[in-house]
Amino acid sequence: MDIKLETIPGRVAILNGKAYRYFSGTSYLGMAQYEPFKAAVAEGVARYGVNFGGSRLGNIRFSIFEEAEAWLATFTGAGAALTASSGSVAGQLLVRYLKDKGSLYSAPGLHPALWAEGHHFNGPFEAWADLIVQECSRKRGPMVLLSNAVDPLFARPYPFEWLDRIPPDATVTLVLDDSHGLGVCGENGAGAFSVVKPPPQVEMVVVSSLGKALGVPGGVILGRPGLIQALWHSPFFGGASPIAPAFLYGMLQVKEHYPQALGRLRASIRRFREPVLATGLFRSFMDYPVFYTPEHRLGPWLETHGCLLSQFAYPTPEDEPVTRIVLNALHEAEDIDYLVAVIRRFLESLS
Sign, CA torsion 322/328/330/331:
positive
- CA dist., res. 223 & res. 248, Å (int): 19
- CA dist., res. 350 & res. 97, Å (int): 53
Percent of the chain with pLDDT over 70: 99
> Closest Cα to residue 326, out of 310, 314, 342?
310
> Closest Cα to residue 72, out of 181, 221, 174, 217?
221
Question: pLDDT at residue 54 above 90?
Answer: no
- The answer to the question of residue 287 being in a domain is yes
Cβ atoms within 10 Å, residue 2: 5
- The answer to the question of residue 346 being in a domain is yes
Percent of the chain with pLDDT over 90: 85
235 and 304 share one domain: no
Going by the DSSP 8-state scheme, the letter that residue 264 receives in this structure is H
Residue 124 binned pLDDT confidence (cut-offs 50, 70, 90): very high
Cα atoms in the Cβ-side hemisphere of radius 13 Å centred on 98? 33
Q: Do residues 193 and 78 lie in contact, with contact meaning Cβ atoms separated by under 8 Å? A: yes
- CA dist., res. 127 & res. 38, Å (int): 44
pLDDT digits (tens, 9 = 90+) for 128-184: 999 999 999 987 789 999 999 999 999 999 999 999 999 999 999 999 999 999 999
Among the three residues 219, 253, 287, which one is the final residue of a domain in this structure? 253
Cβ atoms within 10 Å, residue 20: 21
154 and 59 share one domain: yes
CATH code for position 345:
3.90.1150.10
pLDDT digits (tens, 9 = 90+) for 291-342: 999 999 999 999 999 999 999 988 778 888 999 999 999 999 999 999 999 9
What DSSP element (H or E) covers 328? none
261 and 246 share one domain: no
**In the prediction, which pLDDT does 209 show?**
98
| Angle between helix 333-350 and 257-277 (nearest 10) | 20
* Rounded alpha-carbon distances, angstroms, from residue 191 to 9, 137, 185: 25, 29, 5
Higher pLDDT, 346 or 238: 346
**In the prediction, which pLDDT does 106 show?**
97
74 and 158 share one domain: yes
Residue 13 binned pLDDT confidence (cut-offs 50, 70, 90): very high
Cβ atoms within 10 Å, residue 317: 7
150 and 244 share one domain: yes
- The answer to the question of residue 5 being in a domain is no
- CA dist., res. 71 & res. 69, Å (int): 5
- CA dist., res. 94 & res. 175, Å (int): 9
Q: Collapsing DSSP states into helix, strand and coil, what is residue 339?
A: helix
Question: pLDDT at residue 270 above 90?
Answer: yes
320 and 179 share one domain: no
- Beta strand pairing status for 18-23 and 202-209? unpaired
**In the prediction, which pLDDT does 1 show?**
52
DSSP characters for 157-184?
A: EPP-GGGGGS-TT--EEEEEE-TTTTTT
Among the three residues 191, 225, 253, which one is the final residue of a domain in this structure? 253
- CA dist., res. 214 & res. 251, Å (int): 7
- The answer to the question of residue 1 being in a domain is no
What radius of gyration do the chain's Cα atoms show?
A: 21
- The answer to the question of residue 325 being in a domain is yes
**In the prediction, which pLDDT does 302 show?**
97
Average pLDDT of the chain is 94
**In the prediction, which pLDDT does 2 show?**
64
Domains: count for the chain: 2
- The answer to the question of residue 277 being in a domain is yes
Q: Note the pTM of the prediction, 2 decimals.
A: 0.94
22 and 80 share one domain: no
203 and 261 share one domain: no
Residue 191 binned pLDDT confidence (cut-offs 50, 70, 90): very high
Among the three residues 222, 253, 284, which one is the final residue of a domain in this structure? 253
Q: Collapsing DSSP states into helix, strand and coil, what is residue 233?
A: coil
- The answer to the question of residue 101 being in a domain is yes
**In the prediction, which pLDDT does 335 show?**
98
Q: Do residues 202 and 233 lie in contact, with contact meaning Cβ atoms separated by under 8 Å? A: no
Mean pLDDT of the region 43-69 = 91
What is the extent of the structural domain holding 265? 12-34+257-350
- CA dist., res. 84 & res. 97, Å (int): 14
Residue 46 binned pLDDT confidence (cut-offs 50, 70, 90): very high
222 and 286 share one domain: no
Cβ atoms within 10 Å, residue 57: 12
Q: Do residues 327 and 337 lie in contact, with contact meaning Cβ atoms separated by under 8 Å? A: no
